[in-house]
Amino acid sequence: MRYPRSVLAAVLLAASPLGAAPWRPLFNGTDLAGWSMFMAAPPPETDVPGLKRDAKGTYLEPVGFNRDPLHVFRIEQVDGQPAIHVSGAGFGVITTDESFGNFHLRMQVKWGEKIWGYKKTTHAPLDAGLLYFARGPAGVDHITWPRSLEFQIQEKDFGDLYTLGMTEATASARVVPETVNGRQVNLYTYDPAGKPTVFVGRRPIGNRCRRTADLEKPHGEWNTLDLFCLGDSSVHVVNGQAVNRIQHARMPTAGGLVTLDSGQICLQTEGGEVYYRAIEIQPISAIPAEYAAP
């Protein structure tokens, strides 16, 4: 990926802790160079010529790779800075062409207003996501996502963990089970003093570990997300506070489970309007003390 000299100079001159590696932008502010795209079947209220529909108007096939006939991903100036404006018209991902391991990724995100498809009819919350350690093509999980771990971006659920497309793969976290009216339900919340629990895409535990607190800012404000990945462990940080810590990520291969410690990075469109900006990454050799497990 090539960047304007002004962008590179700004990165090199940016204030950072003594000895820290310089930040590298993953979004050049102009286009989606360095990213690839996959779009699943679009919502029925849209018009994409050439895609098959059933009698009820439901699309029967995906838009596919590196096609965006609905202009779901656009580059715009938002609040004085370049941002990726995601209309939310359909499910899909943009994915870095490169893979990364042992890194600190940071970015900003805020919601728009539009909701599409069944999410609109069911009054679902606005939803998106940051996927990491992605390996293999998109379209594995729910005919949309690649095998990966997800840093959830959803109203009131910033920082949840999901394991995607990995019914035999695992990631673990310390959690406490949630209860409703004194009865345990199939929900688990991260707690550094909790019981180590393996999350996998099948029952009884499932593939979701909830964040420890709701730290999302009011609708329309920018949220800052930090993702620290070191080896097969990761830390989800929302607006400066660690809300989830994950260890022992594994994924299946023909030869059995292997350590999941690197992969591509993806940003989701998931039926809701969202903006991403200031996406940058730097290599790390340790988790900062303020975010390491107590």
Question: Could you tell me if residue 16 is inside a domain?
Answer: no
Question: Could you tell me if residue 7 is inside a domain?
Answer: no
**Which residue is associated with the tokens 């003594």?**
18
Identify whether the C-beta of residue 42 lies closer than 8 Å to the C-beta of residue 70.
yes
Q: What is the mean pLDDT of the chain?
A: 91
The pLDDT of residue 19 is: 62
Q: Residue 107's domain is classified under what CATH number?
A: 2.60.120.560
> Taking the CB of residue 244, how many other CB atoms lie within 10 A of it?
23
Tell me the backbone φ, ψ of residue 118, rounded to 5 degrees: -65, -25
The pLDDT of residue 14 is: 39
The pLDDT of residue 182 is: 72
pTM of the predicted model, to two decimals? 0.90
Question: Could you tell me if residue 236 is inside a domain?
Answer: yes
Question: Could you tell me if residue 4 is inside a domain?
Answer: no
- Domains of the chain: total: 1
Question: Could you tell me if residue 138 is inside a domain?
Answer: yes
Question: Could you tell me if residue 10 is inside a domain?
Answer: no
The pLDDT of residue 275 is: 98
Written as tens digits, the pLDDT of the chain (294 aa) is 444 444 443 433 333 445 678 999 999 999 999 999 999 999 999 999 999 999 999 999 999 999 999 999 999 999 999 999 999 999 999 999 999 999 999 999 999 999 999 898 899 999 999 999 999 889 888 889 999 999 999 999 999 999 998 777 789 999 999 877 777 777 999 999 999 999 988 888 999 999 999 999 999 999 999 999 999 999 999 999 999 999 999 988 888 889 999 999 999 999 999 999 999 999 999 999 999 998
Question: Could you tell me if residue 140 is inside a domain?
Answer: yes
Domain encompassing residue 85:
24-283
Identify whether the C-beta of residue 271 lies closer than 8 Å to the C-beta of residue 141.
no
Q: How far apart are CA 203 and CA 129, in angstroms?
A: 23
Question: Could you tell me if residue 116 is inside a domain?
Answer: yes
Q: What is the DSSP string of 107-173?
A: EEEEEEEEE-HHHHHTTPPPEEEEEEEEES-S-SBTTTBPEEEEEEEETT-TT-EEEES-TT-EEEE
